[in-house]
Structure 1
Amino acid sequence: MRIYDDIQLDYCDVLLRPKRSRLSSRSEVDIEREYDFKWCPLKIKGTGVMAANMSTTGTFEIAKIMQKYKLFTALHKHYTAEELIKFLKDNKKNFKTNGYIFISSGVSEEDYKKIQKVMKTKLINNICIDVANGYSPYLINYVKKVRAAYPKCLIMAGNVVTGDMTEDLLLNGADIVKVGIGPGSVCTTRKLTGVGRPQFSTVIECSDAAHGVGGMICADGGCTVAGDVCKSFCAGADFIMLGGMLAGHEESAGDVIKRVYITTEVEDTGDEQLKYVLKEKYFKKFYGMSSEYAQDLFYGGLKKYRASEGKLVEIPYRGEIEKTILAILGGVRSAMTYVGAKRIKDMPKCATFYRVNRQLNTVFGNE
């Protein structure tokens, strides 16, 4: 048994230090960068915000909006090959490229057959290989298999939280390593297993390891506000995967749920009488992909040998996703002017952090 006693930090444990800057306006910064990958010969120009490959956020509808802003979407793995091919054909016809979209895969033989069917069409080049425990030998073996079969494809694989495993995946065929175990808002892995690592420290170590061998990372989970996205870019993340921040919108999967409740109001009649009022609120379901709900939905139930590592929640309906996307990108632009980074790629070079005990004053609420 060994204990690492270095302090491990989450996004809420730090704040960015402002610096003098020549930038006089948010309009002067460049939030796009050209991605040049370790194995994949193709280049992509975009901003590395990515919709998570969860069944509520990795949807065709969200992908259509994200790509308008040169943002990425990892489609969830429960679409059939036929559904993927139809979408990719239509999307390429309308948008001219599928470069901002990843298809997702597990490591089973059935997953590989689906990849083969989709890749055969040559409609897409990006694959996200996604398993809960990236330390399993199955992941590296599968990455090798996909790289050998499709040497020019762009491969993202994970999840891990340490530099050594980040390097192993990159050296064995991955272009991007997905990092994060347990930071997601509907993930209960840490609670159930005691396994995980604070996400800010994860990003710092894994990005340093990845960049040292010519690879990249995608910080998966832990962002709750636009400021966390800014911190993640400054900590070295090349891509940042968002789930909860993009859930609950019109384009997110799932029906809108109406809840009716009774509240009281004071009648303005002079004698301050109370009256009962019926009100409505609207919600959408959001759940972890290892939750019992997801297992029931996609796998016919939770297997006896495993436990639920996610939860099901109802989050307030947020309307169209475009407003949220613009708020996130606006936050990134503003952060760049605060730290003096003209290009998004320069954010880690310009960043200095304060370690803090509290970052927000919530006396009037958490919004």
Structure 2
Amino acid sequence: MPRIDVDVKLDFKDVLFRPKRSSLKSRSEVDLRRTFTFRNSKQSYHGIPIIAANMDTTGTFEMAQVLSKDGGCSCPGDVAKAFGAGADFVMLGGMLAGHDQCAGEVIEKNGRKVKLFYGMSSDTAMKKHVGGVAEYRASEGRTVEVPYRGDVEATIRDILGGLRSTCTYVGAAKLKELSRRTTFIRVTQQASHMFT
């Protein structure tokens, strides 16, 4: 008989941060930079621990340059929750799709501008890089059209601003302190759909 795990599994949408007393007067007081030394390579990284996912359309050198300058998630709140739950790095794919720094052309369809977005396990990527899907495997990703979003700077500013706001809510002056100062509250609904 198969084993069924019945423990409750929580997702980003299932929790909110519980605010705490904070001595921070401004979001500008929050330091988002971290330093890591990797165990096997002994190399160090110093910066904001957000990286572009290895996807053909977002994992570009142009995107890496923008991220190094400034700095699974779908909004800035998800990024903050991941760090609050103890993540060392956060990978972004879909949040960065559709920007100027992403590979691919801007296509106009039905009067709106879009870009193609696909992961490296998608049918599109496998056809482009290895001539197709091997007969022993299946395509695990999708190819979707995402709205063209211009320069990525505004999106990065939203993500980092949300992260700084979260740190001020719980009194974390440094990103490294966020997980120690985080208490999550379980919720059933955290978004108002009144104006959507």
Q: Residue 115 of structure 2 contacts residue 145 of structure 2 at CA under 8 Å; is this kept in 1?
A: yes
Of the three residues 88, 105, 123, the one matched with 1:255 is 105
Q: Residue 12 of structure 2 contacts residue 81 of structure 2 at CA under 8 Å; is this kept in 1?
A: yes
Output the amino acid matched with 1:22: S
| Distance (whole Å) between structure 2 residues aligned to residue 39 and residue 336 of structure 1 | 31
Larger radius of gyration: 1
* Structure 1 position 338 matched with structure 2 position 169: yes
* Structure 1 position 307 matched with structure 2 position 138: yes
Matched residue, 2:30 = 29
| Distance (whole Å) between structure 1 residues aligned to residue 179 and residue 50 of structure 2 | 16
Output the amino acid matched with 2:48: T
Output the amino acid matched with 2:153: E
Matched residue, 1:232 = 82
- Which stretch has the larger CA shift, 33-42 or 340-349? 33-42
- Counterparts in 2 of 1:137-176, with a 5 A limit? none
Give TM-score, length-normalised by structure 1.
Answer: 0.52
Matched residue, 2:3 = 2
User: Alignment partner of 1:284: what SS?
Assistant: strand
Q: Residue 51 of structure 2 contacts residue 64 of structure 2 at CA under 8 Å; is this kept in 1?
A: no
User: Alignment partner of 2:16: what SS?
Assistant: strand
User: Alignment partner of 1:15: what SS?
Assistant: strand
| Distance (whole Å) between structure 2 residues aligned to residue 350 and residue 65 of structure 1 | 29
| Distance (whole Å) between structure 2 residues aligned to residue 229 and residue 295 of structure 1 | 29
Matched residue, 2:12 = 11
Give TM-score, length-normalised by structure 2.
Answer: 0.95
User: Alignment partner of 1:324: what SS?
Assistant: helix
User: Alignment partner of 2:101: what SS?
Assistant: coil
Output the amino acid matched with 1:5: V
Residues 165-208 of structure 1, C-alpha deviation per residue, up to 9 Å, x if partnerless? xxxxxxxxxxxxxxxxxxxxxxxxxxxxxxxxxxxxxxxxxxxx
| Distance (whole Å) between structure 2 residues aligned to residue 40 and residue 291 of structure 1 | 31
User: Alignment partner of 1:357: what SS?
Assistant: coil
| Distance (whole Å) between structure 2 residues aligned to residue 343 and residue 4 of structure 1 | 37
Residues 1-36 of structure 1, C-alpha deviation per residue, up to 9 Å, x if partnerless? 322221111111111111111111101111112213
Q: Which runs of 5+ in 2 are unaligned?
A: none
Q: Residue 123 of structure 2 contacts residue 141 of structure 2 at CA under 8 Å; is this kept in 1?
A: yes
Q: Residue 56 of structure 2 contacts residue 120 of structure 2 at CA under 8 Å; is this kept in 1?
A: yes
- Counterparts in 2 of 1:218-297, with a 5 A limit? 221=72, 223-260=73-110, 280-297=111-128
Kindly state the Cα deviation for residue 49 of structure 1 after the two structures are TM-superposed.
Answer: 0.7
User: Alignment partner of 2:39: what SS?
Assistant: coil
Matched residue, 2:41 = 40
| Distance (whole Å) between structure 2 residues aligned to residue 306 and residue 51 of structure 1 | 25
Q: Alpha carbon RMSD of aligned pairs, Å?
A: 1.2
Kindly state the Cα deviation for residue 308 of structure 1 after the two structures are TM-superposed.
Answer: 1.5
Residues 43/306 of structure 1: CA separation in 2 closer, same or farther (3 Å cut)? closer
Output the amino acid matched with 2:168: T
Kindly state the Cα deviation for residue 250 of structure 1 after the two structures are TM-superposed.
Answer: 0.6
| Distance (whole Å) between structure 1 residues aligned to residue 24 and residue 153 of structure 2 | 26
User: Alignment partner of 1:330: what SS?
Assistant: helix
**Identical-residue share of aligned pairs (%):** 53
Matched residue, 1:87 = none
User: Alignment partner of 1:286: what SS?
Assistant: strand
| Distance (whole Å) between structure 2 residues aligned to residue 250 and residue 42 of structure 1 | 31
User: Alignment partner of 1:232: what SS?
Assistant: helix
Give structure 1 regions of 4+ aligned residues with deviation exceeding 6 angstroms: none
| Distance (whole Å) between structure 1 residues aligned to residue 181 and residue 87 of structure 2 | 14
Q: Residue 107 of structure 2 contacts residue 113 of structure 2 at CA under 8 Å; is this kept in 1?
A: yes
| Distance (whole Å) between structure 1 residues aligned to residue 8 and residue 191 of structure 2 | 21
| Higher relative contact order (CA closer than 8 Å, sequence separation 6+) | 2
Output the amino acid matched with 2:148: Y
Q: Residue 18 of structure 2 contacts residue 185 of structure 2 at CA under 8 Å; is this kept in 1?
A: yes
